[in-house]
Amino acid sequence: KRRHNQSQRSAQMSSDQLSPFASQPTTGARDITRRKLMVAAGAAAAIPAVPHQASAAALHAASTSSPAQTAPVPPGAKGPVIPASGYLVEEIADRVFWVTDGLYQSIFLITSDGVVVVDAPPTIGHIILRAISSVTTAPVTHAIYNHHHADHIGAMSLFDGARRYAQREVTKLLRQTPDRNRPLPDVSFEDRLTLRVGDDEIQLDYHGPIADGLQ
C-alpha cells in the first residue's frame, strides 16, 4: 500500500512538472515548471536565428550581384516602332491597313465603295479617322464589331452613317449594356456572313465564345 502511494505521488509530480496548468500545484513545483518552460521557449525561439541571418545575408548578396543573363527578346515580339505622331498606319496587305499606338489597334480595308473598319478602341478613337484620311478620301461605309468589349469598340460611334455588323451573341451583350459609344449593330449573323463591298468580298466567321465575337 505504501509502495502504491509513492507511485501515485511520483506520477502526480511528473504530471505537475510537465503541465503549467496542473491543478493545485505547490509553489515550488509551479516555479520550477515555469522556469523550465521559459528556458525551453527561449531555446526554441533561438533556433531560427541562424538560418534567418543566413537568409538575410543571401538576399543581400543576391541584390548586390549582377543580374542573371536572359535570352534576348525576339525582334518580332518587340512590336512596331511608333512614329513621333504617336501612332502607326501601315499597309499589311493589298489596300488593308492597320492603325496602332503600340498597344491597341484597328484595321481597315479600302474598297471602291468606301472603307470597311474593324474595331475602334477608344484610346485611339481620335486617331482612326485621321489615319484613314491620310491614305484615302473615301468615307467609312461599313464597321465590324470583333466583340463587345468597350476597350476594343468604344469609339464605334465615330462612324456616323456606316452600316454596322456583329455576331448575334455580341448584339445580345450590347443590348444588356446600352452605350451610345457602342451603337447596336444594323446586321447580326449566326455563324457566317459574307459582305460584298465594291469589288471585294469579306467573310465573317464565328468560331465560338473565345472572345464573345469573331475570330
pLDDT tens digit sequence for 72-106:
888 878 788 999 989 999 999 999 999 999 989 99
Q: How confident is the model at residue 69 (pLDDT cuts 50, 70, 90)?
A: confident
Residue whose C-alpha is closest to residue 211's, from 153, 150, 149? 149
pLDDT tens digit sequence for 128-181:
999 999 999 999 999 999 989 998 999 999 999 999 999 999 999 999 999 999
- The pLDDT assigned to 65 comes to 59
- Alpha carbon 36 to its chain's center: 54
Q: How confident is the model at residue 62 (pLDDT cuts 50, 70, 90)?
A: low
E-only strand ranges, the chain: 88-93, 96-100, 105-111, 114-118, 140-144, 163-167, 187-189, 192-197, 200-205
pTM of the complete model: 0.63
